[in-house]
Structure 1
Amino acid sequence: MHTPPFVSTDEIRSRFSKAMSDMYRQEVPQYGTLLELVADVNAAVMQGNPGLAGQLAQSGELERLDVERHGAIRLGTPAELANMRRIFGVMGMLPVGYYDLSVAGVPVHSTAFRPISDAALTRNPFRVFTSLLRLELIDNAAVRAEIEAILSRRNIFTERALELTRQFEATGGLLSSEADEFVAEVRETFRWHSEATVGEDTYHRLHQAHRLIADVACFKGPHINHLTPRTLDIDAAQAEMLKRGVGAKDVIEGPPTRKCPILLRQTSFKALEERVAFVGADSSAQGTHTARFGEIEQRGMALTGKGRALYDELLAGVRNADQAGSAGGDYAQRLATAFLAFPDELEAIRRAGLAFFSYALTGAGSAAIGSGKDAAALDELVAGGYVQARPITYEDFLPVSAAGIFQSNLGGAEQKSYAANEAKTAFEAALGASVYDEIALYQALQSQSIEAVRSQLRGDANHA
């Protein structure tokens, strides 16, 4: 008797990503405008640079560009985080990186759930930046106790979602119909609910402690607060947002405009003011809550430890000058000037060891198989035209940028000062697993490509 096959985790992730995008388009109408805007900008960029489409196709990024999204959620308890890890595991999404946002005045720490293999990223690189509230950073003991009590009463997952997760863990997969049911059940966790779980007085008390606390603790679940498409030119996208009447934030977060983009640049439109019904309130009396917004990102190359150190040094110098941070009309100019110290030619970046690259044989390299070239230095193979180097795309996030996006949508007066409070060990204990080191993942991808090139040049049978 034939047993129907399990669908792949990549397929489940793709179905979920599409379901989320469809849901968010209904909930946040401007999201549809954002998708159209990004599609128009990307088409114009490729039309103006005919070679780019070929490069994207060769790297496997063209087919993923239109479906690429990242979302963000904020969780309240360790148990919520641990179960979220299990649910994302069904979609082939693993926790990568640790981000301490407390140093920027946001009382959370975070990880990004995403696929990690090259093949899975090419299929669908859906990511969810996932934050956990840090109650120990709330000074007021009474407020802490109140938040704990509120969060202890809620369950953000449907029982069927958890049941299907347990089934996946026990059997190693889901059938297609079960995967569709799983997607529908998990989507309920991320849906916006306009009914608060607390009264108006409680909401305002927690809101006064920190707007993000109210967002996490006062609702039925972690409504997804943005779903971000990827653009090939974020400066053009920013200008187009303003042209189309979408209120973009003042500053693009991340590095400046460059010929060779690095890491991640992000912008967003301001958070929506949404109607909320509070517990015990008259049906005609509604309040408002602002949390969800629209974001666009542009991804560049992944930097090595050396490259990140230089990036962090240059960025810190700009942000710390006169304690100006990213404020002030001259920030973009100060940033661009500072980053003149970061090479902006691909080969200079590669030779300096500032970014990760994937290596592949050229036609000349294929013709040289078995000629002894496998023993040559990598730089010699690249210079001789036997091997081509392609930058590896940065798949992760930047804590300063994440905090900047958070703050721009929490209100200008929201900045609070927390001491350096990194608590990675506590976060991993709540998660129930260690987070992957993103630098190690990029290093592994680069090393695997180098070994594959040398194996091919040797004429090994498995690479013939």
Structure 2
Amino acid sequence: MSTREFVDPSAIRAQFSSAMSAMYRAEVPLYGDLLALVADTNAGVLAGCASLRQQLEWTGEIERLSMERHGAIRVGTAEELSTIRRLFAVMGMQPVGYYDLGSAGVPVHSTAFRAVHEAELQVSPFRVFTSLLRLELIEDEALRDLAAAILAKRDIFTPRARALIAQCEAEGGLNAADAEVFVSEALETFRWHTEATVSAAEYDRLHGQHRLIADVVAFKGPHINHLTPRTLDIDQVQAAMPGRGITPKAVVEGPPRRQCPILLRQTSFKALQEPVVFVGQSGTAGSHTARFGEIEQRGAALTPAGRALYDRLLDQAREDLGEFPSEANAQRYADLLGQRFEAFPDSYPAMRRAGLAYFRYFVTDAGKAPRREEDRPLDLEALIEAGHVHFEPLVYEDFLPVSAAGIFQSNLGDDAQVSYAATSNQQAFQAALGAAVHDELALYAETQRRSLAECARLLGLESLG
């Protein structure tokens, strides 16, 4: 088969994310209400801020704003994780980053599957935060064995999906017809099932250890537990949610509100209580709480120096608070965050000068204009000063462990907080995954380097930066 017949993996990813969104809106109608609120908020923000619109136009973000989504799933075994990696690879999604949530009281470790090149992200930025249950953190040996036995009996992938994954690996891609079938079959892995695979008594035992353990183990597959639109003003959305009949979580996770957003801020509506039929029951006598809708506001990707400063200020704010952020202390926590983050520069030029964030560089019309050789600046700073090169922050495409744990805990219930005295184990995670995860900071550095190389090419210079 000629590779010219293959569908671009990014196009398959775009098709899949659209199908996933339609499925989730049908399963969780409140998510559709959330999408409408975010769309209204974004339209209002853009109408009132010409400079932000211009920034989004420079970077191409304006074109992908409405499709900027991520989802999250939780798998139970190494085989499930390895196969989900292969499934996402069909769509050009690779594992990026390692996140240990055990220290935050959530018995999983995770990665994010996404595209790794800026051109691929532009076609479809869809990413899936994927967590693997750490069975070794279950101290009750009998319960640990029960969970392992239950997970061993299920297959979360359809036979056709498995066959198409293998076909793609063998042939190097999928044609249009096969890609369409693949999307339909892959979607089944993420679908909600009202029938549990355990009895009510077994569910109660799993739930009693940790709600997330019950969510992972007790069902036919890793139902998508949330999808996420991107907003330009998460505080507006948070404030407007109750007026749309949506109950928000108490605390917006991540950095405080800023003129120049950094990294990632997240909030969500509370997880829904949904009817479940347990093994041995008739009718809908039981229930399960897991699925919710999330909102994200993305800002600048930070360099190692920027992340170190961010982590230090966040740790200080949480130490100042002295307890887990909750509805009761939400305003005090916001105030403490704001105070601590006064130490983080709040302008993009200042962040760039201090080496705190990654940027993408563009040659301006002035830079492209003909001029005498002796009138052309030769170094990056002079080109920026002369208006020949423009810069914009790279959008952070990844996640934050403390924020992810905060979202998980909020939707599992504050009484689900548990302390797991276990060390981070990226090596074990990668062994289960069957591959090494990408270093997200190296990816941002490469994108920045490519943009500088392109500027040098357009300006006829050997190099920049």
**1:35 Cα deviation after fit:** 0.6
**1:455 Cα deviation after fit:** 2.6
Q: Does 1:457 align with 2:456?
A: no
CA displacement 1:57-91 (0-9 Å, x = unmatched)? 22111111111210000000000000000000000
Provide the residue aligned with 2:340 in structure 1.
Answer: 338
Contact kept in structure 1, 2:360 and 2:392, CA below 8 Å? yes
Please tell me the residue identity of whatever aligns with 1:260.
C
Contact kept in structure 2, 1:306 and 1:354, CA below 8 Å? yes
Contact kept in structure 1, 2:300 and 2:394, CA below 8 Å? yes
Contact kept in structure 1, 2:227 and 2:294, CA below 8 Å? yes
Provide the residue aligned with 2:83 in structure 1.
Answer: 83
Q: SS at 2:198's partner residue?
A: coil
Q: Quote the Cα distance in structure 2 between the aligned partners of 1:204 and 1:374.
A: 72
Q: Does 1:210 align with 2:202?
A: no
Contact kept in structure 2, 1:113 and 1:129, CA below 8 Å? yes
Going from structure 1 to structure 2, the CA distance change for 1:275 and 1:372 (only over 3 Å counts) comes to farther
**1:453 Cα deviation after fit:** 1.6
Provide the residue aligned with 1:106 in structure 2.
Answer: 106
Provide the residue aligned with 2:287 in structure 1.
Answer: 288
Provide the residue aligned with 2:303 in structure 1.
Answer: 304
Provide the residue aligned with 2:235 in structure 1.
Answer: 235
Q: SS at 2:279's partner residue?
A: coil
Provide the residue aligned with 2:432 in structure 1.
Answer: 430
Please tell me the residue identity of whatever aligns with 2:157.
F
Provide the residue aligned with 1:55 in structure 2.
Answer: 55
Q: Quote the Cα distance in structure 1 between the aligned partners of 2:86 and 2:432.
A: 12
**1:2 Cα deviation after fit:** 9.4
Provide the residue aligned with 2:182 in structure 1.
Answer: 182
Provide the residue aligned with 2:140 in structure 1.
Answer: 140
Provide the residue aligned with 2:125 in structure 1.
Answer: 125
Going from structure 1 to structure 2, the CA distance change for 1:430 and 1:374 (only over 3 Å counts) comes to farther
Provide the residue aligned with 2:67 in structure 1.
Answer: 67
Going from structure 1 to structure 2, the CA distance change for 1:372 and 1:389 (only over 3 Å counts) comes to farther
Please tell me the residue identity of whatever aligns with 2:302.
L
**1:325 Cα deviation after fit:** 3.5
**1:371 Cα deviation after fit:** 2.5
Please tell me the residue identity of whatever aligns with 2:431.
A
CA displacement 1:365-416 (0-9 Å, x = unmatched)? 2236783688833222212222111100000000000000000000111111
**1:419 Cα deviation after fit:** 2.7
Please tell me the residue identity of whatever aligns with 1:117.
H
Provide the residue aligned with 2:356 in structure 1.
Answer: 354
Q: SS at 2:23's partner residue?
A: helix
Contact kept in structure 2, 1:151 and 1:217, CA below 8 Å? yes
Contact kept in structure 2, 1:372 and 1:457, CA below 8 Å? no
Please tell me the residue identity of whatever aligns with 2:299.
G
Going from structure 1 to structure 2, the CA distance change for 1:2 and 1:445 (only over 3 Å counts) comes to closer
Contact kept in structure 1, 2:3 and 2:173, CA below 8 Å? no
Q: SS at 2:194's partner residue?
A: coil
Structure 1 residue ranges without an equivalent (≥5): none
Provide the residue aligned with 1:278 in structure 2.
Answer: 278
Q: Quote the Cα distance in structure 2 between the aligned partners of 1:391 and 1:20.
A: 29
Provide the residue aligned with 2:163 in structure 1.
Answer: 163
Q: Please show how residues 8-47 of structure 1 align to structure 2 within 5 Å.
A: 8-47=8-47
Bigger drift between 238-247 and 130-139 goes to 238-247
Q: Which residue of the other structure, out of 443, 446, 452, is the alignment partner of 2:445?
A: 443
Please tell me the residue identity of whatever aligns with 1:387.
V
Quote the RMSD (CA, aligned, Å).
1.7
Bigger drift between 317-326 and 194-203 goes to 317-326
Contact kept in structure 2, 1:264 and 1:398, CA below 8 Å? yes
Contact kept in structure 2, 1:74 and 1:133, CA below 8 Å? yes
Going from structure 1 to structure 2, the CA distance change for 1:9 and 1:3 (only over 3 Å counts) comes to closer
Provide the residue aligned with 1:321 in structure 2.
Answer: 320
Provide the residue aligned with 1:253 in structure 2.
Answer: 253
Contact kept in structure 1, 2:321 and 2:336, CA below 8 Å? no
Contact kept in structure 2, 1:370 and 1:458, CA below 8 Å? no
Contact kept in structure 2, 1:373 and 1:457, CA below 8 Å? no
Contact kept in structure 1, 2:143 and 2:206, CA below 8 Å? yes
Please tell me the residue identity of whatever aligns with 1:412.
D
Q: Give the TM-score of the pair, scaled to structure 2.
A: 0.96
Provide the residue aligned with 1:390 in structure 2.
Answer: 392
Bigger drift between 271-280 and 43-52 goes to 43-52
Q: Quote the Cα distance in structure 1 between the aligned partners of 2:277 and 2:430.
A: 35
Equivalenced residues, count: 459
Q: SS at 1:253's partner residue?
A: coil
CA displacement 1:216-244 (0-9 Å, x = unmatched)? 00000000000000001101111111221
Bigger drift between 170-179 and 38-47 goes to 170-179
**1:181 Cα deviation after fit:** 0.4
Contact kept in structure 1, 2:276 and 2:287, CA below 8 Å? yes
Q: Quote the Cα distance in structure 2 between the aligned partners of 1:21 and 1:134.
A: 28
Going from structure 1 to structure 2, the CA distance change for 1:450 and 1:198 (only over 3 Å counts) comes to same
**1:324 Cα deviation after fit:** 2.3
Q: SS at 1:301's partner residue?
A: coil
Contact kept in structure 1, 2:275 and 2:284, CA below 8 Å? no
Contact kept in structure 1, 2:300 and 2:395, CA below 8 Å? yes
CA displacement 1:176-227 (0-9 Å, x = unmatched)? 1111100000100000000000100000000001000000000000000000
Q: Does 1:363 align with 2:357?
A: no
Q: Quote the Cα distance in structure 1 between the aligned partners of 2:112 and 2:396.
A: 13
Q: Quote the Cα distance in structure 2 between the aligned partners of 1:382 and 1:132.
A: 45
Structure 2 residue ranges without an equivalent (≥5): none
Going from structure 1 to structure 2, the CA distance change for 1:75 and 1:377 (only over 3 Å counts) comes to same
Q: SS at 1:338's partner residue?
A: helix
Bigger drift between 369-378 and 44-53 goes to 369-378
Q: Which residue of the other structure, out of 380, 392, 401, is the alignment partner of 1:378?
A: 380
Bigger drift between 305-314 and 63-72 goes to 63-72
Going from structure 1 to structure 2, the CA distance change for 1:296 and 1:369 (only over 3 Å counts) comes to farther
Q: Structure 1: which 4+ aligned runs deviate by more than 4 Å? A: 1-4, 372-375
Q: SS at 2:250's partner residue?
A: coil
Over the matched positions of the two proteins, sequence identity in percent amounts to 59
